[in-house]
Amino acid sequence: MSVLVFVEGFNGEIKKSSLEAATYGYQVAQQLGTSATAVAIGEVHEEALAKLGEQGISKVLYDADSRLNNFVADAYVKVIAKAAQQENAKVLVFSNSNIGAAVGAKLAVRLNGSLATNVTTLPKTDGGFIVTRSVFSGKAFAEVNLTSDVKIIAVKKNALEIANAGSGPATVEKFSADLTDADFAAAPKETIMQDTSGGVLLTEAEIVVSGGRGLKGPENWHLVEDLAKALGAATACSKPVADLDWRPHHEHVGQTGIAVSPNLYIAIGISGAIQHLAGVNSSKVIVVINKDPEAPFFKAADYGIVGDAFDVVPKLIEAARGLDK
């Protein structure tokens, strides 16, 4: 029996959230006295797969079928299910991404397994297999006992540090689920937006710089972009900004948009409606810049600057650029 970790790639590299999932999978394997194997799908550099050994992964099953470069849920499920069967994996671990959530739910049905999403802790194995989930947009936690023979866990992004297990390179093995055209034609291709705002994948970003209507118009968006570039951050926006067509909807973060969990979230000219907070409250540090001292966002902020964004942000850009000198 082993633990199987599904890792996602982007531009040939392993996503940060999948490295977190690999760390989690290895630690669960240590608890259970077994090994952790990964399965990778699509276009990923084999060098990146081998480096998963740093997170304790001993072996990677790699299906390089080019048809898998675009996400198709049923085909992905077939690959992962076959890998789980081959490895006799009873614990499957994913990142709680859009892809992970879609695949995890289908696998739970296919394998008759128990599924827990948004998991933040390692399982308690005394008297069961109990994990803690973040629920109600991060406002509460719930403990759930996974009672099925197969246990499927989607790890919340940024919930744990990426650990270096000090192991050598993982063994990368070619793997095939013998997919047919029917596996791709049975259902329409599900499109998962891989946004690279600011040159950084938004859902994987360590730092996010976000703007709201306080910027007064799209012609002032260079303030967000310049600060993001200086910090190596992704850019995002509030829902009203996307609704006004100042920015594309795939940059909208919030309850009805993308949920992010960066180490640092900088909100410029965003009042902080509860729907927006629901999508960003997992950020480790929140900085709010707003000229209205009564803006609700200040109540959720770790640091706040009361001031006009057109005065404050240029000074932050200058300071951030100075960090590299």
Per-residue pLDDT of 262-288, as tens digits, reads 999 999 999 999 999 999 998 999 999
Q: Coil, strand, or helix at residue 237?
A: strand
Sorting pLDDT into bands at 50, 70 and 90, what band is 199?
low
> Would you state the structure tokens that stand for residue 112, as one six-digit string?
């008759």
* Side-chain-side CA neighbours of residue 56 (13 Å): 24
Please determine, for residue 108, whether its predicted confidence score (pLDDT) is greater than 70: yes
Looking at residue 21, its pLDDT comes to 96
Query: What is the C-alpha radius of gyration for the chain, rounded to an integer number of angstroms?
Result: 21
Q: Are 48 and 9 in contact (CB under 8 A)?
A: yes
**Residue 141: alpha-carbon gap to chain centroid:** 19
* DSSP code for 191: P
**Measured between alpha carbons, how far is 166 from 273 in angstroms, rounded to an integer?**
44
Looking at residue 189, its pLDDT comes to 47
**Residue 83: alpha-carbon gap to chain centroid:** 22
Looking at residue 252, its pLDDT comes to 95
Looking at residue 193, its pLDDT comes to 47
324 CB-near residues (< 8 Å, 6+ apart): none
Looking at residue 295, its pLDDT comes to 95
When pLDDT is averaged across residues 39-45 and rounded to a whole number, the result is: 93
Of 183-187, 208-212, 262-266, give the lowest mean pLDDT range: 183-187
**Measured between alpha carbons, how far is 79 from 2 in angstroms, rounded to an integer?**
17
Please determine, for residue 308, whether its predicted confidence score (pLDDT) is greater than 70: yes
When pLDDT is averaged across residues 312-318 and rounded to a whole number, the result is: 96
- Sequence-ordered alpha helix ranges (H) in the chain: 16-32, 46-50, 73-87, 98-110, 181-185, 222-231, 239-243, 274-280, 297-300, 309-322
- Sequence-ordered alpha helix ranges (H) in 33-114: 46-50, 73-87, 98-110
| Domains (range + CATH), the chain | 2-184 (3.40.50.620), 197-321 (3.40.50.1220)
| Dihedral-angle region of residue 11 (phi above 0 means left; psi in -120 to 50 means alpha; beta otherwise) | left
**Binding site members:** 213, 269-276, 290
When pLDDT is averaged across residues 84-107 and rounded to a whole number, the result is: 94
Please determine, for residue 168, whether its predicted confidence score (pLDDT) is greater than 60: yes
Looking at residue 98, its pLDDT comes to 87
Please determine, for residue 191, whether its predicted confidence score (pLDDT) is greater than 70: no
Looking at residue 186, its pLDDT comes to 54
Percent of the chain having pLDDT more than 70? 95
Q: Which residues of 232-243 are buried (b: 16+ CB within 10 A; e: fewer)?
A: ebbbbbbbebbe
Angle ∠(16,112,141) on CA atoms, nearest 5? 50
When pLDDT is averaged across residues 251-270 and rounded to a whole number, the result is: 94
**Binding site members for FAD:** 213, 269-276, 290
**Measured between alpha carbons, how far is 208 from 237 in angstroms, rounded to an integer?**
10
Q: Are 269 and 287 in contact (CB under 8 A)?
A: no
| Dihedral-angle region of residue 118 (phi above 0 means left; psi in -120 to 50 means alpha; beta otherwise) | left
Sorting pLDDT into bands at 50, 70 and 90, what band is 42?
confident
Looking at residue 128, its pLDDT comes to 93
β-pair partners for 13? 10
For residue range 141-151, list pLDDT tens digits in order. Answer: 999 999 999 99
* DSSP code for 169: P
Percent of the chain having pLDDT more than 90? 77
**Residue 301: alpha-carbon gap to chain centroid:** 22
Please determine, for residue 325, whether its predicted confidence score (pLDDT) is greater than 60: no
